Amino acid sequence: MNRLIIYYSQGGTTDLVAKTLAKNLNASLVRIHDLKNREGFKNRLLSSISAIREEKTDIVPAKLDLTNYDTIYFGTPTWAGNPTPAILTIIDRCNLRAKDVVLFATMDSNRGDSNIERLEEKVKIRGARVIETFTITTKNKSPEKLVSDTEAIIEMKDLKMY
């Protein structure tokens, strides 16, 4: 089974979760880079507004060929209860027809469910079948705790099966 994890991370917690998944699931990994400056208070505020409006952004890589993968994971932080513009942009550029998809979101609070719901709508429109979803609360957690929480989710949701 060929798995690919596609994710965006700004602060590093989604990066850690994605890398833990890749290691434990023997999956390939692609980090999406947003070319827009998202640092600083003003830019973070504007980024939250962009997430609410579902604005697209310039990303690298701009497009991905998913032909050789059976299961695709999409991971994103939660911004104002929504997926990030970078993840929404790459999803809109991918052919997900007949792909199995796992969605995950990291979040500081408990607002990740609406993020996952929106991601689910987006990937289904693109032809994917969502086989699993999960959220991870990251606030005040050490890197070691994030790794152990991710590994617990892998076991609990039996992600090695997909």
Q: Are 31 and 160 in contact (CB under 8 A)?
A: no
Q: Are 103 and 33 in contact (CB under 8 A)?
A: no
Give the model confidence (pLDDT) of 95-114 as tens digits.
999 999 999 999 987 666 78
Among the ranges given (65-74, 78-87, 104-113), the one the predictor scored with the smallest mean pLDDT: 104-113
**Residue of 140, 28, 119, 38 lying closest to 74 (CA atoms):** 119
**Residue of 115, 124, 132 lying closest to 25 (CA atoms):** 132
- Please give the model's pTM, rounded to 2 decimal places: 0.93
CATH numbers and ranges of domains, the chain? 3-161 (3.40.50.360)
Residue 11 has pLDDT above 90, yes or no: no
Residue 100: strand pairing partners: 71, 129
- Residue 55 CB-half CA count within 13 A: 13
**Token code pair at residue 59:** 């990303």
pLDDT-derived band of residue 127, with 50, 70 and 90 as boundaries? very high
Q: Are 34 and 57 in contact (CB under 8 A)?
A: yes
Is the CA virtual torsion 142, 148, 149, 154 positive or negative? positive
pLDDT-derived band of residue 54, with 50, 70 and 90 as boundaries? confident
Q: SS3 for 135? A: strand
Task: Quote the pLDDT of residue 102.
Answer: 98
